[in-house]
Chain A
Amino acid sequence: DAGVTQSPTHLIKTRGQHVTLRCSPISGHKSVSWYQQVLGQGPQFIFQYYEKEERGRGNFPDRFSARQFPNYSSELNVNALLLGDSALYLCASSLEGYYTDTQYFGPGTRLTVL
């Protein structure tokens, strides 16, 4: 079975631009979570979606937004990019997003903001 897929793999943007990252969960999984991982740190929670509804939001500014589609895939949007947004963005899927569910991570999108 295919794992979690993310696109693009790498992305280079300049300050002030907008970016859209995409994620397809494991077949049968209805929950997608987004994490930001800065070099040398653990993943930091951004959003969780379940059945197209936002179920949780981390401590990130309103420049970050996301949505989930009927096929459970998801997009993460970041507006007005800052240098500090440079990071690895990870998508994780789970069956229903419960705290007892295993989350499976995708390979991530490496975003560089110049």
Chain B
Amino acid sequence: QQPVQSPQAVILREGEDAVINCSSSKALYSVHWYRQKHGEAPVFLMILLKGGEQKGHDKISASFNEKKQQSSLYLTASQLSYSGTYFCGTENEGTGRRALTFGSGTRLQVQP
């Protein structure tokens, strides 16, 4: 089942902060965050695993609330380069080799 992302779109000024949320109706075992710029491939940002382990970008932080089946991506002191569409990909079984189910994305635009 597809995770739900919010907000759908956000416009920021440089230096402002943003939070992007990803919610699942099923138990979450891993959440993968990607950023995609127009016409380009999704770029890996961060992976969060049930139990607290995180791997990824050192300038972006994220949280994983296992009880709420939700993850949030925190973008602080935004830069123009942060513009793009952010996707969360979720895995709901926690075993073996599994594909990711992606949300519809959050479009972020950072203005000067």
* Chain A interface (Cβ < 8 Å from any Cβ of B): 4, 31, 33, 35, 40-45, 48, 50, 55-56, 58, 90, 96-100, 102-108
Task: Give Cα distance in the complex from A108 to B38, angstroms.
Answer: 12
Taking a contact as CB atoms closer than 8 A, the residue among B34, B41, B96, B99 that contacts A106 in the complex is: B41
Size of the B side of the interface (Cβ < 8 Å), in residues, is: 29
Chain B: which residue is nearest A94 at the CB level?
A: B97
What is the CB-to-nearest-CB distance from A105 to chain B, in angstroms, rounded to a whole number? 4
- Within the complex, the shortest CB–CB distance from B60 to chain A, in Å, comes to 14
Contact B95 A41 (CB under 8 A): no
Query: For residue B84, which residues in chain A have a CB less than 8 angstroms away from its CB?
Result: none
A99-B29, A102-B32, A105-B41 are contacts. A45–B97 as well, Cβ < 8 Å?
Answer: no
Q: Chain A residue with minimal CB distance to B90? A: A99
